[in-house]
Structure 1
Amino acid sequence: MKPVTTLLSITRLLSVGGCLLLGSCSQGEDALTSGASGNARIPINVEASLADVVTTRTAGYTPVPSGGAIGVFRTAPVTADSPAQRDVKYTYNGTKWSPESEATQIVVGAENATLCAYYPQGSVSFTANTTQTALTVKDYTAADDLCYAHKPVQAQVNNANRAVSFLMEHAYSRLQFSITRNSTADYPNACKITSIQMEPATAGSEFYTARTINVGLPATNGSQLTGSKAASWTLNTAALAMGTAGISKGATDTSIDKLFPPQAFSANVGTKLTLTIDGKNQTVTVPYAKLTGLKAGEISRIMLEIQGTELVVESVQIKQWSTINSGTHDSTLD
């Protein structure tokens, strides 16, 4: 048996030597499976999950839906023969992730790569040669629910460690209104709400309707979010049911569901709300203790009641953002 063993060993040595001499095995199947030596650039293997509230009512992650796609950035290292790669599309088919094309897929060498990603791919545009994009107030839709991972789970990603997992967090906060017309209070008109205005109770305080986010930075980085303060935000509701038909006695309107840039309000400054009801303004202030800001990944639901000619804040519900069941996991501040 010894001659056979010796022969096999010699054969393996010759095979390895042939690969080294000819350079034909550097991108072969063995290299892809087991990693690569030197600075050979090897495609990464991608997977991603989205932040959610799992059945245990704790923060967790849920798989990207089948057909969903993420955009991946490799921002370092950058050399003349290995430029940065930006917004490279990877799609999940329910079983595996695939790049849009082999020509554009993310590749890594011996040096650890800097990667970040976002979802859904193509839902936003980025400032040229950056990982910065705009967050603006808009209606909530799943397509506009920007999620991102400023880095992969793995501490090291290189040609010997090319498996990459991204855990995506919500970039936006959600703001909802629940407006009820009291069933017993004497209100003589149709209760048509044609406008909702939101502003800090103290002028000049922290309040944003547009911000820029850098998806390559963590939320704890003070430079991740930038933007100029806004004086107020006004929503024209004249064309909505609350503006055309009005709210009947005992009924509740929950049609307002907005994506807002995340922000912390100025300390001890409440939020002033002005509703135009049947052509007249009614104002109420949400105390700072009930609403200290709009946090990324959370839903803030402001519960208002119209009691005759008085507008009252019933409560503010703060809950984790869940695509499984948005009606649970509430923390109510009365």
Structure 2
Amino acid sequence: MKLNVTEIRQSLALGGALLLTLAALALQGCDRADQEAGLPAPGNTPLVVLSAGIDGETPAGTRAAAASTRAAVTTTELTTGSLALFLRGAAGTGYADKNNLKYTYTAAGTPSKWVAIDAANTLYLGAEQASVCACYPHNGDGTCNDPTAIPLTSQAYTATAANLSYDTDRTLDGTGTGCKTSFTLKRAYAKVNFTFTRDNYPSAGKLTQITLANCHTKNTLNIRTGVYATATTAADLSNTVSLTIPADKTPVATADGDAAKNSFLVVPGNIPDYAGATGMGAEVVLTVDGKNVRVLIPKTTLAAWQAGKAYNIRIKLTGTGITLGTVETKDWTTDEVKADGNKPFVPKLP
């Protein structure tokens, strides 16, 4: 049978359309395969993060008050920044490890307020169960790619990625409800502030450096379980400040993130024994009017830095030295850690 020119043209057109359709299907299949990489088949359900909150602070109180009626720790909803998400699947489930996926807050999100920044950062869930944990803020420098060993470093206070909070593993899957979660983040560090007063101190009271000695400055944290490694190295943590302690006994304090009088973030853990001073632990060394004065804090007063606690160490300058008053803690709950006789601690002159 002979075909006329019109029929030949129609046949060629149909053939071309068929080839284009097959090519499109092939590309679609590749895209789908890319989306499902690291997933048990079938499954390409994106994780829905309903909300994220961080442990907040409660009003200050005494140790006695805390022992009887501790105030509940508040949780503040996060409405800015980015989360880092991690996924792990058991052997045989078909999941590939996912690390440091970036989810950013958006007020317009429905139902999720936290969305992946792009397809490469999207956490997909399949039919099998997987474990998912998170930390905040997202760290883009490559140091947070192993959720079992997130590095911690004692340092001057910062609101950046170094001030880590986290939430441990939860089991999720790609079902209708199994793909949704909320995170309540715990603080990874202890925070240390200082409040200074003076009484009959004859000099200017110009404070230029605060050193917190005999503390752990490095460690790692498993954010999947919330377990810290055992810190082994003790060192000093120093911060340059510019702060004058008023002569009229008015207290002056450090402040989070203030370059002139910054507070500290400290790696949690038991405070090591102070060498050569039985029963002592942490040491505070102040450079005041060009001279160093120091306070040793008994371990019966302060034995450990606890994660999520905000400590306020009260110190008084006097004509004969420095006095350590109280060490207050609060959930960042507040206890007071006091010297014998409910008096401030007094640092010794060199």
TM-score by length of 1: 0.72
Which of 130, 137, 148 is equivalent to 2:166?
A: 148
- 1:270 is paired with a residue whose SS is strand
In 2, the alpha carbon distance for the partners of 1:163 and 1:80 equals 19
* 1:248 has 2:252 as partner: no
In 2, the alpha carbon distance for the partners of 1:249 and 1:54 equals 30
**CA 1:116–1:252: 2 relative to 1, 3 Å:** same
**CA 1:150–1:79: 2 relative to 1, 3 Å:** same
In 2, the alpha carbon distance for the partners of 1:278 and 1:60 equals 40
Counterpart residue number, 1:330? 334
* 1:87 has 2:105 as partner: no
Counterpart residue number, 1:278? 289
- 2:204 is paired with a residue whose SS is coil
Q: Which AA in structure 2 matches 1:148?
A: Y
Counterpart residue number, 1:11? none
In 2, the alpha carbon distance for the partners of 1:289 and 1:123 equals 41
What aligned pairs does 1:8-23 form with structure 2 within 5 A after superposition?
none
- For 1:281-333, what per-residue CA distance to the aligned partner results, in whole angstroms no more than 9, with x for missing partners? 32222222221211111101100000112110111101110xxxxxxx53222
**CA 1:250–1:214: 2 relative to 1, 3 Å:** same
RMSD between superposed Cα atoms in Å: 3.2
In 2, the alpha carbon distance for the partners of 1:122 and 1:249 equals 45
User: What is the Cα deviation at residue 128 of structure 1?
Assistant: 4.9
In 2, the alpha carbon distance for the partners of 1:225 and 1:210 equals 10
Q: Which AA in structure 2 matches 1:149?
A: D
Counterpart residue number, 1:107? 124
- 2:119 is paired with a residue whose SS is coil
In 1, the alpha carbon distance for the partners of 2:240 and 2:119 equals 47
TM-score by length of 2: 0.69
**CA 1:301–1:82: 2 relative to 1, 3 Å:** same
Q: Where do 5+ consecutive residues of structure 1 fail to align?
A: 1-23, 25-36, 201-206, 322-328
In 2, the alpha carbon distance for the partners of 1:38 and 1:281 equals 66
* 1:41 has 2:20 as partner: no
* 1:75 has 2:88 as partner: yes
Q: Where do 5+ consecutive residues of structure 2 fail to align?
A: 1-27, 29-39, 60-69, 255-261, 274-278, 339-350
Counterpart residue number, 2:135? 118
* 8 A contact 2:216–2:271 mirrored in 1: no
* 8 A contact 1:126–1:132 mirrored in 2: no
Structure 1, 171-180 or 190-199: larger mean CA deviation: 190-199
Q: Which AA in structure 2 matches 1:164?
A: T
User: What is the Cα deviation at residue 276 of structure 1?
Assistant: 2.5
In 1, the alpha carbon distance for the partners of 2:271 and 2:158 equals 25
User: What is the Cα deviation at residue 123 of structure 1?
Assistant: 6.5
**CA 1:248–1:45: 2 relative to 1, 3 Å:** same
Counterpart residue number, 1:133? 150
